[in-house]
């Protein structure tokens, strides 16, 4: 059966529906919770080819998505229809993505593979991708007692004039380039599905926390406290205050992701009522 490969610059409604259908088939086949980041997919820039699609007789049977968060690497999610596996489709999509990343001078691909996906692991082993780390996806399930704290610690909605401070926090705490952080934050400020808060302690700006809302879940992300203010309970205060606000706004499914090796953050989230629902492994492969 002839296979047609396409690189897409932005995704139209038909493509999005096809990807969603393929995701549903793959999730059901292996009982997965695939990580595709639908907010990003629905708002792809039209000047970048971040999506690669494989069709057999006009049916979408393979898909690969690039997510560029820095110049060091691109994160990749991908899937192949169960009935079309072991035909080299994913390998062909990876080759196209590799060509695109080479043109952008991005040296590495970082594949996201749900830990329980046997097919995903087999594909990455065939590519000789190297396991690097794992993350838990956690869901807020057991509300904890909210923390009373001094009123000097505040969560204030970020304004455009706060972007330089937010960029500084992303650079310091996450190693994100200033250029990338500036671009994302400027977009976040304009997106009604995303919100950013600056954490202040009196006059000091000590941290930040973000949320973005999909059709089914509210993601907490970008949560950090400056190193010199850690270990004083500020993180727990910030998180419980945010959860209290989200509960009042009827956000039913609140989730986040945390590196399995980050024991301090994992403990904090568990104390605040989060429980693990799945895990994702990350595999690195140099662009060839």
> Is pTM, for the whole model, over 0.75?
yes
Are 198 and 131 members of one domain?
no
Same domain, 26 and 150: no
179, 63: one domain: no
Question: Are residues 86 and 20 part of one domain?
Answer: yes
CA–CA–CA angle 69, 64, 195 (5° rounding): 40
* CA nearest neighbour of 239 among 274, 212, 202, 263: 274
Give the pLDDT of residue 177. 84
- Is there a domain that residue 277 lies in? no
Regarding whether 214 and 114 lie in a shared domain, the answer is no
Structural domains in the chain (count): 2
Distance CA 71, CA 89 (A): 27
At residue 242, the pLDDT reads 93
Does residue 120 sit in helix, strand or coil?
Answer: helix
161 in the same domain as 112 = no
The three-state secondary structure class of 243 is helix
The CATH number of whichever domain residue 154 belongs to comes to 3.40.630.30
Do 59 and 171 belong together in one domain? no
Is residue 221 one of the residues assigned to a domain? yes
Whether residues 167 and 263 fall in one domain: yes
Last residue of a domain, one of 135, 157, 172: 135
Q: What is the pLDDT along the chain (288 residues), one digit of tens a residue?
A: 689 999 999 999 999 999 999 999 999 999 999 999 888 899 898 999 999 999 999 999 999 999 987 778 999 999 999 999 999 999 999 999 999 999 999 999 999 999 999 999 999 999 999 999 999 999 999 776 565 555 689 999 999 999 999 999 999 998 888 888 888 888 888 888 899 999 999 999 999 999 998 888 999 999 999 999 999 999 999 999 999 999 999 887 999 999 999 999 999 999 999 999 999 999 999 998
Same structural domain, 64 and 152: no
**Domain end marker among 135, 170, 185:** 135
DSSP state of 174: H
> Are the C-beta atoms of residues 241 and 233 closer than 8 Å to each other?
no
Residue 204, token pair as written in the block:
């000091």
Q: Is the dihedral of CA 190, 48, 117, 264 positive or negative?
A: negative
Residue 38 lies in a domain: yes
The domain containing residue 250 runs over which residues?
Answer: 143-272
């Amino acid at each position: 059966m002839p296979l047609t490969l396409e690189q897409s610059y932005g995704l139209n409604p038909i493509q999005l529906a096809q990807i969603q259908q393929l995701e549903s088939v793959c999730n059901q086949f292996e009982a997965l919770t695939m990580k595709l980041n639908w907010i990003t997919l629905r708002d792809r820039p039209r000047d970048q080819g971040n999506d690669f699609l494989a069709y057999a007789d006009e049916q979408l049977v393979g898909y690969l998505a690039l997510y560029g968060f820095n110049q060091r690497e691109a994160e990749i999610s991908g899937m192949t229809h169960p009935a079309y596996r072991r035909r080299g489709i994913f390998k062909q999509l990876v080759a196209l993505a590799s060509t695109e990343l080479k043109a952008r001078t991005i040296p590495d691909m970082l594949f996201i593979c749900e830990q329980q996906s046997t097919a995903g692991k087999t594909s990455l082993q065939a590519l000789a991708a190297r396991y690097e780390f794992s993350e838990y996806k956690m869901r807020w399930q057991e509300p904890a007692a909210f923390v009373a704290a001094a009123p000097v610690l505040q969560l204030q909605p970020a304004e455009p004039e706060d972007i330089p401070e937010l960029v500084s926090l992303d650079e310091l705490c996450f190693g994100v380039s200033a250029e990338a952080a500036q671009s994302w934050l400027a977009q976040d400020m304009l997106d009604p599905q995303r919100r950013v808060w600056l954490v202040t302690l009196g006059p000091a700006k000590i941290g930040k926390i973000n949320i973005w809302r999909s059709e089914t879940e509210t993601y907490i992300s970008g949560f950090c406290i400056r190193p010199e203010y850690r270990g004083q309970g500020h993180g727990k205060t910030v998180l419980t205050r945010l959860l209290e606000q989200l509960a009042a706004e009827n956000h039913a499914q609140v989730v986040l992701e945390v590196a399995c090796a980050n024991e301090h953050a994992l403990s904090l989230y568990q104390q605040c009522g989060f429980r693990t629902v799945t895990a994702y492994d990350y595999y690195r492969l140099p662009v060839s």
